[in-house]
Amino acid sequence: MGNVVVVGTQWGDEGKGKIVDLLSERADVVARFQGGHNAGHTLVIDGKVYKLSLLPSGIVRGGKVSVIGNGVVVDPWALLKEMEILRNQDVVVNTDTLQIAANATLIMPYHRELDALREDATKGVKIGTTRRGIGPAYEDKVGRRAIRVCDLQSRKIVEARLEVALTHHNALRKGLGCEAFDAKTIADELMELADVILPYMKNVWRTLDDASNEGKSILFEGAQGALLDVDHGTYPFVTSSNTIAGQAAGGTGFAPGNLGYVLGITKAYTTRVGSGPFPTEQENEIGQFLGEKGHDFGVVTGRKRRCGWFDAVLVRQSLKIGGVTGIALTKLDVLDGLEELKVCIGYKHDGEVVDYLPYGMEDQAAIEPVYETLEGWSETTYGARSWADLPAKAVKYIRRIEELIGVPVALLSTSPEREDTIVVRDPFKG
């Protein structure tokens, strides 16, 4: 058994939750390595729905160790609320099943408020933040003024770190016409949580290293998608962390050479939540059809997703940058009933056709998709569990996608239920 890294290859919402749940049954450890509670995973197990934002998907599986890595920004209040919700669903969440990296950054109340204040104050195009304080927390981490989980061991340290942080944040708040935060009030609120949070604190790099040395398998769980990566995504309409597979190492303290198989979760069409470029977006009856049939609303925000045709150019670019070994193709059944399907195979840009997305905002806005048209199918693919259950034209669509992106389909998901999955190649076996 090896290790597997699961990442999204589009703009998130590709269906990572189900795939991670499917794989977590066979993993010994499941580790989140970036993002925060702006991510959303929906799991459907035996008809029961679990909605996760911060906790690793493996938490709903008994006998697993779930790890929140140092690359994750943790809102302690949101974490405790999510833990309570899961316990009410009979999920065991204790120090045997959950570990939090001692060096993980905490999201503070002033991060949440700043996120909303800046988004509301922005004129023109907005980023589309979830207003949960993710970006400001990452800013403080890089600015070396963050409060980390390990700081909760000492009120003296918390107060000292707050003095540094609030020197910065209260100046911003004054500029935005808001009252200053009181350090003592925040320190009091934090220390009330300390005794609850600290038992989960661990040096998770050692947990993962020990597991690897013992021959155990580790599943690394990413949030969002490659096109929201702060470096490689559609900047500035991105998240505030690196979302590609390489971050699995930096975000947990695990050796990069031991990461193993990289599985890219890829939706059979394309969706996006919030602002930013979307070359294949269909603001018409096709987009409405895909959105309604795919139930495309954000797990965390509830916002309606923008929908469009499959973009092979963007997915191929994500796979190259992320070193993806194979993909899990999801939500194929949403395409059932369409007479024809289009796939983007290139972009018209400055009078020529290019096979990549340019980085400049004006260049991205100016490109036009070049489509290839494929036949659709009238039969259903919903719930298919073998290739023999699939219409011939659906198989042809899948094979063409494989050719265009240059990476094989390892798993094919045909419904939200974990059993409705065709396993072509076992990621744990490489």
The residues that are catalytic are: 13, 41
Distance CA 114, CA 172 (A): 8
Report H helices in 294-391: 312-322, 361-366
Confirm if 2 and 429 have CB atoms less than 8 A apart.
Answer: yes
Angle between helix 155-175 and helix 183-197 axes, rounded to 10 deg: 130
Distance CA 20, CA 264 (A): 11
Burial 144-160 (b: 16+ CB within 10 A, else e): ebbbbbebbeeeeebbe
Distance CA 205, CA 388 (A): 44
Task: Estimate the share of the chain in helix, then strand, then coil, as percent rounded to the nearest 5.
Answer: 40, 20, 40
Q: How many CA atoms lie within 13 A of 373 on its CB side?
A: 3
DSSP states along 150-201: GGGG-HHHHHHHHHHHHHHHHHHHHHTT-PPPPHHHHHHHHHHHHHHHGGGE
The SS3 of residue 221 is: strand
Distance CA 370, CA 347 (A): 5
Report the 10 Å Cβ neighbour count for 222: 33
Task: Classify strands 270-272 and 306-308 as parallel, antiparallel or unpaired.
Answer: antiparallel
Distance CA 74, CA 54 (A): 8
Torsion angles phi and psi, residue 149, rounded to 5: -55, -45
